[in-house]
Amino acid sequence: MNKKKVRRLTYPHIDAIVPQTLDFFGNKRNIVIFLNEIVRQGGEMLAADALGYEWLDINGLLKADDALRNLVEEQNLFIAKKAEELLCSRSMHGFEEVVEERGEIVKKSRKFNDKILLEYVRANNPKYQKGTPEDEMPIFEIKRFEVPAK
Number of H helices, E strands in the chain: 7, 2
Domain count, the chain: 1
Phi-psi region of 52 (alpha: psi -120 to 50; beta: other; left: phi over 0): left
* Domain around 65: 14-133
Name the percent of the chain lying above pLDDT 70: 77
Residue 6 is assigned to a structural domain of this protein: no
Range of weakest confidence among 20-24, 26-30, 33-37, 88-92: 88-92
Residue 120 domain flag:
yes
Q: Could you tell me if residue 126 is inside a domain?
A: yes
Is residue 73 a part of any domain in this protein? yes
Confidence at 149, pLDDT banded by 50, 70, 90: low
